[in-house]
């Protein structure tokens, strides 16, 4: 397995060097994989795919270029937040208090967000951290649905602020909101940074077990929607361009300007120890 920025070195366990070219463009050959069509001069944005499924506990570290964004996506219960906490050891989500939110926002709990940025550590931006901070301040009898809009506002405000501040970021993505990935990709391109997707390809049954283990489940309708979105992401990563019906233009769920897509299964996600941003 060879990446454009160096490849793989082995020291008992695999250390994967993820391709790091920013804005890797290719002319629009019809048989060449790519992201969204329609760049200037008929060019198409392309991404590299690194499929690590089936490698079990061999993968320990993924290496990304310093300053880049890694977006982690997968089914609810697939282990995204657990993996993100482990691979960004010491890093926490930044305080995410939008104007006018008062003390109901993230409070001071997230002010240690920069503590994990020493050396090659990336800042972790996880909506679950924001939800947990709100939950600690809300009455136990209050349903999450009541204050969910505040959680989302606080999360995206904190994400915007982290993007403005720069530095390497590891961002939680629920998978079903294509506009979030496209927004992140636009911000990365404008800042001269690379955006990478890290996809957890986990069976639905395993994800449901994960939801039960954490004591928090999504509705059957929402889970079905997440399953469709996750499958589209994995399919698009492996075959990013398909012919659209005559007269129509198909937009990929892989955002324009995405540099790489790394696909892992549950075993590989559980064995990852760090995302390295040298």
Kindly report the pTM of this predicted structure. Answer: 0.76
Q: What is the pLDDT of residue 190?
A: 93
Do 161 and 96 form a contact (C-beta atoms < 8 A)? yes
Assign domain 8-99+119-276 to its CATH superfamily: P-loop containing nucleotide triphosphate hydrolases (3.40.50.300)
Residues sharing a CB contact under 8 Å with residue 230, sequence separation 6 or more, in sequence order? 73, 74, 75, 175, 199, 201
Hey, which residues does 123 pair with through a beta bridge? 169
Rounded CA-CA distance 242/31 in Å is 9
Q: How do the pLDDT tens digits run along the chain, 278 residues long?
A: 433 333 333 334 667 777 665 443 332 232 223 333 333 333 345 688 999 999 988 899 999 999 999 999 999 999 999 999 999 875 555 544 444 444 333 333 333 333 333 445 789 999 999 999 999 999 999 999 999 999 999 999 999 999 999 999 999 998 788 899 999 999 999 999 999 999 999 999 999 999 898 888 888 998 999 999 999 999 988 875 444 444 444 557 888 889 999 999 999 999 999 999 97
Retrieve residue 46's tokens.
Answer: 């392309």
Rounded CA-CA distance 199/230 in Å is 8
Q: Nearest CA to 157 among 130, 120, 186?
A: 130
């Amino acid at each position: 397995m060879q990446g454009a920025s160096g490849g793989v070195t082995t020291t008992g366990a695999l250390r994967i060097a993820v391709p790091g070219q920013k804005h890797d463009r290719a002319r629009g050959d019809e048989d060449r994989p790519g992201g969204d069509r329609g760049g200037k001069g008929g060019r198409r944005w392309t991404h590299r795919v690194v499929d690590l499924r089936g490698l079990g506990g061999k993968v320990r570290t993924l290496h990304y270029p310093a300053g880049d964004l890694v977006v982690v996506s997968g089914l609810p219960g697939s282990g995204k937040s657990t993996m993100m906490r482990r691979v960004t050891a010491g890093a926490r989500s930044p305080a995410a208090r939008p104007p006018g939110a008062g003390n109901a926002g993230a409070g001071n709990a997230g002010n240690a967000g920069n503590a994990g940025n020493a050396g090659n550590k990336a800042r972790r931006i996880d909506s679950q951290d924001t939800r947990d901070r709100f939950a600690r301040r809300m009455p136990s009898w209050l349903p999450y649905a009541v204050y969910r809009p505040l959680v989302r506002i606080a999360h995206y405000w904190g994400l915007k602020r982290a993007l403005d501040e720069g530095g390497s970021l590891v961002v939680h993505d629920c998978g079903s909101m294509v506009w979030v990935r496209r927004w992140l990709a636009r911000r990365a391109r404008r800042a001269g940074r690379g955006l990478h997707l890290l996809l957890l390809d986990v069976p639905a049954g395993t994800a449901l077990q994960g939801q039960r283990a954490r004591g928090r489940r999504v509705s059957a309708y929402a889970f079905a929607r997440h399953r469709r979105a996750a499958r589209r992401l994995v399919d698009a990563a492996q075959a990013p361009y398909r012919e659209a019906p005559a007269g129509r233009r198909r937009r990929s769920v892989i955002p324009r300007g995405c540099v790489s897509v790394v696909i892992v299964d549950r075993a590989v996600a559980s064995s990852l120890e760090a995302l390295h941003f040298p």
